[in-house]
Amino acid sequence: MSDDGSMRMPGPSDVEQGVDRDTAQAPAVHHPRRVTSFRARRSTISDRQQAVWEARWPELGLLARTGDDPPVPLDTDAWFGRHAPLVLEIGCGTGTSTLAMAQAEPHLDVVAVEVYKRGLAQLLSAIDREGVGNIRLIRGDGVDVLTHMLAPGSLTGVRVFFPDPWPKARHHKRRLLQPDTVALIADRLRPGGVLHAATDHQGYAEQIAEVGDAEPRLTRIELDAPGLPISTARPETKYERKALAGPIVTELLWAKS
Protein backbone atom coordinates (compact mmCIF):
# COMPACT_ATOMS: atom_id res chain seq x y z
CA MET A 1 0.00 0.00 0.00
CA SER A 2 1.30 3.43 -0.86
CA ASP A 3 1.28 6.69 1.10
CA ASP A 4 -2.10 7.54 -0.40
CA GLY A 5 -3.67 4.47 1.17
CA SER A 6 -3.54 2.25 -1.91
CA MET A 7 -1.93 -1.15 -1.59
CA ARG A 8 1.26 -1.18 -3.63
CA MET A 9 3.36 -4.19 -2.67
CA PRO A 10 6.72 -5.31 -4.11
CA GLY A 11 7.10 -8.36 -6.23
CA PRO A 12 8.52 -11.65 -5.02
CA SER A 13 11.95 -10.82 -6.46
CA ASP A 14 12.44 -7.99 -3.96
CA VAL A 15 12.23 -10.38 -1.03
CA GLU A 16 14.01 -13.28 -2.68
CA GLN A 17 16.97 -11.13 -3.72
CA GLY A 18 17.45 -9.91 -0.16
CA VAL A 19 16.95 -6.19 -0.79
CA ASP A 20 17.01 -5.53 2.98
CA ARG A 21 19.94 -6.99 4.81
CA ASP A 22 17.90 -7.64 7.94
CA THR A 23 15.31 -9.77 6.11
CA ALA A 24 17.54 -11.79 3.75
CA GLN A 25 17.17 -15.55 4.16
CA ALA A 26 18.74 -18.67 2.72
CA PRO A 27 16.84 -20.19 -0.21
CA ALA A 28 14.14 -22.71 0.68
CA VAL A 29 12.29 -25.32 -1.32
CA HIS A 30 9.87 -23.32 -3.45
CA HIS A 31 6.31 -24.20 -4.33
CA PRO A 32 4.74 -22.99 -7.59
CA ARG A 33 4.17 -19.24 -7.23
CA ARG A 34 0.56 -18.11 -7.04
CA VAL A 35 -0.65 -14.89 -8.59
CA THR A 36 -0.10 -12.09 -6.10
CA SER A 37 -1.76 -8.71 -5.72
CA PHE A 38 1.34 -6.57 -5.44
CA ARG A 39 3.67 -4.66 -7.73
CA ALA A 40 7.47 -4.70 -7.81
CA ARG A 41 8.94 -1.73 -5.99
CA ARG A 42 12.13 -0.93 -4.11
CA SER A 43 12.15 1.50 -1.21
CA THR A 44 14.62 2.99 1.22
CA ILE A 45 14.26 4.36 4.74
CA SER A 46 16.00 7.16 6.60
CA ASP A 47 18.81 6.61 9.08
CA ARG A 48 16.45 7.53 11.93
CA GLN A 49 13.84 5.05 10.72
CA GLN A 50 16.53 2.38 10.43
CA ALA A 51 17.59 3.05 14.03
CA VAL A 52 14.00 2.69 15.24
CA TRP A 53 13.63 -0.44 13.10
CA GLU A 54 16.68 -2.05 14.66
CA ALA A 55 15.50 -1.14 18.16
CA ARG A 56 11.78 -2.02 17.90
CA TRP A 57 11.29 -4.52 15.07
CA PRO A 58 12.50 -7.56 17.08
CA GLU A 59 9.74 -6.83 19.60
CA LEU A 60 6.93 -5.61 17.35
CA GLY A 61 7.59 -7.15 13.93
CA LEU A 62 7.63 -10.52 12.19
CA LEU A 63 8.18 -11.81 8.67
CA ALA A 64 5.19 -13.56 7.14
CA ARG A 65 5.32 -17.31 6.86
CA THR A 66 4.93 -18.63 3.32
CA GLY A 67 4.15 -21.88 1.57
CA ASP A 68 7.79 -22.84 2.13
CA ASP A 69 7.26 -22.77 5.91
CA PRO A 70 5.17 -25.07 8.09
CA PRO A 71 2.02 -23.23 9.26
CA VAL A 72 2.32 -22.01 12.84
CA PRO A 73 -0.59 -19.90 14.15
CA LEU A 74 0.44 -16.74 15.94
CA ASP A 75 0.32 -16.74 19.73
CA THR A 76 -1.08 -13.23 19.86
CA ASP A 77 -1.71 -13.38 23.62
CA ALA A 78 2.03 -13.82 24.13
CA TRP A 79 2.96 -11.27 21.45
CA PHE A 80 0.72 -8.53 22.84
CA GLY A 81 1.04 -9.60 26.45
CA ARG A 82 -2.72 -9.82 26.95
CA HIS A 83 -5.90 -11.46 25.65
CA ALA A 84 -7.93 -9.09 23.47
CA PRO A 85 -10.05 -9.12 20.30
CA LEU A 86 -7.79 -9.26 17.24
CA VAL A 87 -8.04 -7.14 14.07
CA LEU A 88 -6.02 -7.78 10.91
CA GLU A 89 -5.30 -4.93 8.50
CA ILE A 90 -4.05 -6.10 5.11
CA GLY A 91 -1.95 -3.52 3.27
CA CYS A 92 -1.47 -0.88 5.96
CA GLY A 93 0.76 1.38 3.83
CA THR A 94 2.38 4.01 6.02
CA GLY A 95 -0.12 3.26 8.77
CA THR A 96 -2.07 6.54 9.02
CA SER A 97 -5.39 4.74 9.47
CA THR A 98 -3.80 1.91 11.44
CA LEU A 99 -2.36 4.23 14.07
CA ALA A 100 -5.44 6.44 14.44
CA MET A 101 -7.87 3.54 14.69
CA ALA A 102 -5.68 1.64 17.16
CA GLN A 103 -5.40 4.74 19.34
CA ALA A 104 -9.19 5.13 19.27
CA GLU A 105 -9.71 1.45 20.17
CA PRO A 106 -7.12 0.56 22.84
CA HIS A 107 -9.16 -2.51 23.81
CA LEU A 108 -8.39 -4.12 20.43
CA ASP A 109 -5.12 -5.67 19.27
CA VAL A 110 -4.17 -4.81 15.68
CA VAL A 111 -1.88 -6.79 13.37
CA ALA A 112 -0.89 -4.66 10.38
CA VAL A 113 0.46 -6.42 7.27
CA GLU A 114 2.52 -4.74 4.56
CA VAL A 115 5.25 -5.82 2.15
CA TYR A 116 7.09 -2.51 1.88
CA LYS A 117 9.68 -1.92 4.55
CA ARG A 118 9.39 1.84 4.06
CA GLY A 119 5.71 1.90 5.00
CA LEU A 120 6.28 -0.37 7.98
CA ALA A 121 9.23 1.76 9.09
CA GLN A 122 7.07 4.89 9.03
CA LEU A 123 4.37 3.17 11.07
CA LEU A 124 6.93 1.70 13.46
CA SER A 125 8.42 5.16 14.02
CA ALA A 126 4.94 6.56 14.73
CA ILE A 127 4.21 3.73 17.18
CA ASP A 128 7.49 4.48 18.95
CA ARG A 129 6.86 8.23 19.00
CA GLU A 130 3.24 8.00 20.19
CA GLY A 131 3.79 5.15 22.64
CA VAL A 132 1.04 2.99 21.12
CA GLY A 133 1.01 -0.51 22.57
CA ASN A 134 -1.69 -2.37 20.67
CA ILE A 135 -0.17 -2.66 17.17
CA ARG A 136 2.10 -5.38 15.84
CA LEU A 137 3.56 -5.58 12.33
CA ILE A 138 4.08 -8.35 9.80
CA ARG A 139 6.09 -7.89 6.64
CA GLY A 140 4.76 -9.99 3.80
CA ASP A 141 1.70 -11.01 1.83
CA GLY A 142 -1.65 -10.81 3.60
CA VAL A 143 -2.84 -14.06 2.02
CA ASP A 144 0.22 -15.84 3.42
CA VAL A 145 -0.56 -14.42 6.86
CA LEU A 146 -4.17 -15.57 6.68
CA THR A 147 -3.16 -19.00 5.41
CA HIS A 148 -0.15 -19.83 7.55
CA MET A 149 -0.29 -17.67 10.67
CA LEU A 150 -3.91 -17.28 11.77
CA ALA A 151 -6.24 -19.94 13.10
CA PRO A 152 -9.89 -20.31 12.03
CA GLY A 153 -12.20 -18.11 14.08
CA SER A 154 -9.33 -16.06 15.52
CA LEU A 155 -10.19 -12.61 14.11
CA THR A 156 -12.75 -10.08 15.27
CA GLY A 157 -12.19 -7.89 12.22
CA VAL A 158 -10.35 -7.66 8.90
CA ARG A 159 -9.68 -4.29 7.25
CA VAL A 160 -8.68 -3.90 3.61
CA PHE A 161 -8.43 -0.22 2.69
CA PHE A 162 -7.66 0.84 -0.89
CA PRO A 163 -6.17 -2.38 -2.28
CA ASP A 164 -4.51 -2.03 -5.66
CA PRO A 165 -7.38 -2.00 -8.20
CA TRP A 166 -5.35 -3.42 -11.08
CA PRO A 167 -7.64 -1.56 -13.52
CA LYS A 168 -6.67 -3.34 -16.75
CA ALA A 169 -8.92 -6.31 -17.47
CA ARG A 170 -5.99 -8.67 -18.01
CA HIS A 171 -4.74 -7.85 -14.52
CA HIS A 172 -8.01 -8.39 -12.63
CA LYS A 173 -6.79 -11.81 -11.53
CA ARG A 174 -4.22 -9.97 -9.40
CA ARG A 175 -6.83 -8.19 -7.31
CA LEU A 176 -6.64 -9.19 -3.67
CA LEU A 177 -10.34 -9.62 -2.89
CA GLN A 178 -11.11 -12.66 -5.01
CA PRO A 179 -13.56 -15.43 -3.96
CA ASP A 180 -10.81 -17.65 -2.51
CA THR A 181 -9.38 -14.84 -0.39
CA VAL A 182 -12.78 -13.69 0.86
CA ALA A 183 -13.60 -17.30 1.77
CA LEU A 184 -10.30 -17.49 3.67
CA ILE A 185 -11.12 -14.26 5.51
CA ALA A 186 -14.56 -15.62 6.39
CA ASP A 187 -12.95 -18.77 7.80
CA ARG A 188 -10.57 -16.74 9.99
CA LEU A 189 -13.32 -14.46 11.33
CA ARG A 190 -15.15 -15.45 14.48
CA PRO A 191 -18.96 -15.42 14.41
CA GLY A 192 -20.00 -11.77 14.45
CA GLY A 193 -16.61 -10.65 13.16
CA VAL A 194 -16.55 -8.17 10.29
CA LEU A 195 -14.80 -7.54 6.99
CA HIS A 196 -14.46 -3.82 6.20
CA ALA A 197 -13.26 -2.89 2.70
CA ALA A 198 -12.80 0.50 1.06
CA THR A 199 -11.86 1.43 -2.51
CA ASP A 200 -12.01 4.48 -4.76
CA HIS A 201 -12.16 2.40 -7.95
CA GLN A 202 -15.77 1.87 -9.07
CA GLY A 203 -15.08 -1.29 -11.03
CA TYR A 204 -13.24 -2.89 -8.14
CA ALA A 205 -15.99 -1.79 -5.74
CA GLU A 206 -18.51 -3.66 -7.86
CA GLN A 207 -16.33 -6.77 -7.88
CA ILE A 208 -15.73 -6.62 -4.12
CA ALA A 209 -19.48 -6.25 -3.51
CA GLU A 210 -20.26 -9.21 -5.77
CA VAL A 211 -17.62 -11.44 -4.21
CA GLY A 212 -18.49 -10.53 -0.64
CA ASP A 213 -22.21 -11.01 -1.20
CA ALA A 214 -21.56 -14.43 -2.77
CA GLU A 215 -19.69 -15.74 0.29
CA PRO A 216 -22.35 -17.74 2.20
CA ARG A 217 -20.84 -17.12 5.64
CA LEU A 218 -20.94 -13.32 5.24
CA THR A 219 -23.92 -10.97 5.42
CA ARG A 220 -23.76 -7.39 4.13
CA ILE A 221 -24.48 -4.80 6.82
CA GLU A 222 -24.44 -1.01 7.09
CA LEU A 223 -21.35 0.85 8.31
CA ASP A 224 -23.36 2.32 11.18
CA ALA A 225 -25.03 -0.95 12.17
CA PRO A 226 -25.48 -1.23 15.95
CA GLY A 227 -23.36 -3.58 18.02
CA LEU A 228 -20.35 -3.81 15.73
CA PRO A 229 -17.29 -5.32 17.44
CA ILE A 230 -14.90 -2.79 15.83
CA SER A 231 -15.20 0.80 14.68
CA THR A 232 -15.82 1.58 11.02
CA ALA A 233 -14.84 5.25 11.47
CA ARG A 234 -11.93 5.20 9.05
CA PRO A 235 -9.78 8.35 9.14
CA GLU A 236 -9.62 10.36 5.94
CA THR A 237 -6.23 9.95 4.31
CA LYS A 238 -4.07 12.71 2.83
CA TYR A 239 -4.77 11.21 -0.58
CA GLU A 240 -8.53 11.50 -0.04
CA ARG A 241 -8.24 15.14 1.06
CA LYS A 242 -6.35 15.96 -2.14
CA ALA A 243 -8.93 14.16 -4.27
CA LEU A 244 -12.16 15.43 -2.73
CA ALA A 245 -13.49 16.34 -6.17
CA GLY A 246 -12.27 13.09 -7.64
CA PRO A 247 -13.23 9.42 -7.26
CA ILE A 248 -15.94 8.46 -4.79
CA VAL A 249 -14.84 6.13 -2.01
CA THR A 250 -17.01 3.05 -1.61
CA GLU A 251 -17.01 1.34 1.78
CA LEU A 252 -18.40 -2.16 2.22
CA LEU A 253 -19.02 -4.14 5.40
CA TRP A 254 -19.95 -7.75 6.05
CA ALA A 255 -20.48 -9.70 9.27
CA LYS A 256 -19.87 -13.40 9.68
CA SER A 257 -22.99 -15.28 10.61
Measured between alpha carbons, how far apart are the two ends of the chain, in Å?
30
Query: CA geometry: angle at 218 spanning 107 and 200, to 5°?
Result: 80
CA distance 257 to 252: 16
Q: Which of 109, 141, 144, 164 is catalytic?
A: 164
- Which residue, 200, 189, 174, is CA-closest to 254? 189
* Annotated catalytic residue 47: no
State the SS3 of 165-211.
CCCCHHHHHHCCCCHHHHHHHHHHEEEEEEEEEEECCHHHHHHHHHH
- Which residue, 66, 59, 60, is CA-closest to 95? 60
What residues are labeled active site?
Answer: 164
